[in-house]
């Protein structure tokens, strides 16, 4: 397949994943929530919004997890345009065009994918993508499956029925993997959301995650991620308006990623536990997945 088509698939996958995350973070329905304590660290609406964003970011831990070649990111979504029968244009640039690969593995020494004037539309929905992804081999003299991805102002703007949402991602993710297990570390990885009412929120996280395939040996480079379990452990800061919250995130039981899910988040079981602290007051937020794309948020 020509490199241009691979690059279009890269853009389509990125757009599909990001816009799904934005939709999750701005979904208008609310999940059941417990009454909470008499002096909670955050309100019920804030807990729901935080829960939706953390759920979306948990899903994003697996986006591009099998990436190696720098040509396309099948882990991010379907390898076709996000609006299958709609109109789309994207011609991301890859520089250098033929990157060095000193160790001969599937990861180039360093390559940058830049998105400019990438657009997709269908009906009353339209999306644009801009920014860059750097794909770097952290061990350029050793043939292995490690990869570092650096996101710089990778921006998605989604218009639906005249309402605008956007998501901007900045940060570095380092991945070490074999055919059965993928381990990742993020440091100061930041997602910034803008909602239709013009308000913003950001999630700045330092997370460690481990994905274990249900079927040992089933993880393949540049292929769709198989079903498996995901553990997350780390800290982050959630900011919305003038309020800032310190978060500690863990999984128990582990999240189960179902590769056959048609909607995101693609977890059908497992629970995220978030300890939220603000001004010396703590609350607990649990995000329990019950089926593909379905979960409840509870504050206590």
Q: Which pLDDT score, from 0 to 100, does residue 197 have?
A: 83
CA distance 191 to 186: 12
CA distance 255 to 58: 9
| Nearest C-alpha neighbor of 53 from the set 183, 204, 269, 278 | 204
171-186 pLDDT tens trace: 999 999 899 999 999 9
> Would you tell me how many other CB atoms lie within 10 Å of the CB of residue 47?
28
CA distance 114 to 135: 11
Q: Which pLDDT score, from 0 to 100, does residue 105 have?
A: 86
Counting DSSP H helices and E strands in the chain, the numbers are 2, 15
Q: Which pLDDT score, from 0 to 100, does residue 167 have?
A: 84
Four-point Cα dihedral 67, 184, 145, 167, nearest 10: 20
First to last CA, the chain: 52
Task: Identify the segments of the chain with pLDDT beneath 50.
Answer: 1-37, 71-86
180-204 pLDDT tens trace: 999 999 988 999 988 888 888 999 9
Distance of CA 225 to the CA centre of its chain: 14
pTM of the model: 0.79
């Amino acid at each position: 397949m020509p490199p241009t088509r691979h690059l279009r698939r890269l853009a389509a996958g990125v757009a599909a994943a990001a816009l799904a995350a934005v939709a999750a973070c701005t979904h208008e329905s609310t999940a059941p929530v417990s009454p909470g304590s008499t002096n909670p660290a955050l309100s019920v609406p804030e807990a729901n919004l935080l829960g939706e964003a953390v759920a979306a970011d948990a899903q994003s831990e697996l986006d591009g997890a099998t990436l190696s070649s720098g040509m396309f990111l099948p882990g991010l979504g379907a390898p076709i345009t996000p609006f299958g029968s709609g109109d789309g244009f994207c011609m991301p640039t890859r520089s250098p065009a033929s990157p060095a690969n000193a160790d001969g593995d599937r990861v180039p020494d360093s390559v940058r994918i830049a998105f400019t004037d990438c657009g997709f539309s269908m009906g009353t929905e339209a999306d644009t993508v801009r920014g860059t992804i750097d794909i770097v081999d952290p061990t350029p003299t050793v043939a292995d499956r490690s990869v570092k991805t650096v996101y710089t102002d990778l921006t998605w703007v989604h218009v639906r029925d005249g309402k605008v949402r956007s998501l901007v991602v900045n940060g570095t993710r380092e991945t070490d993997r074999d055919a059965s297990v993928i381990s990742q570390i993020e440091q100061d990885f930041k997602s910034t959301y803008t909602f239709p009412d013009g308000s913003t929120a950001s999630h700045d996280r330092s997370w460690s995650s481990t994905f274990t395939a249900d079927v040992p040996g089933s993880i393949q480079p540049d292929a769709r991620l198989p079903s498996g379990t995901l553990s997350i452990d780390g800290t982050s800061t959630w900011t919305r308006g003038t309020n800032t919250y310190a978060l500690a995130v863990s999984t128990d039981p582990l999240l189960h990623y179902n590769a056959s899910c048609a909607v995101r988040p693609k977890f059908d079981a497992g629970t995220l536990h978030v300890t939220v602290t603000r001004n010396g007051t703590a609350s607990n937020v649990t995000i329990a997945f019950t089926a593909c794309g379905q979960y409840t948020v509870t504050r206590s």
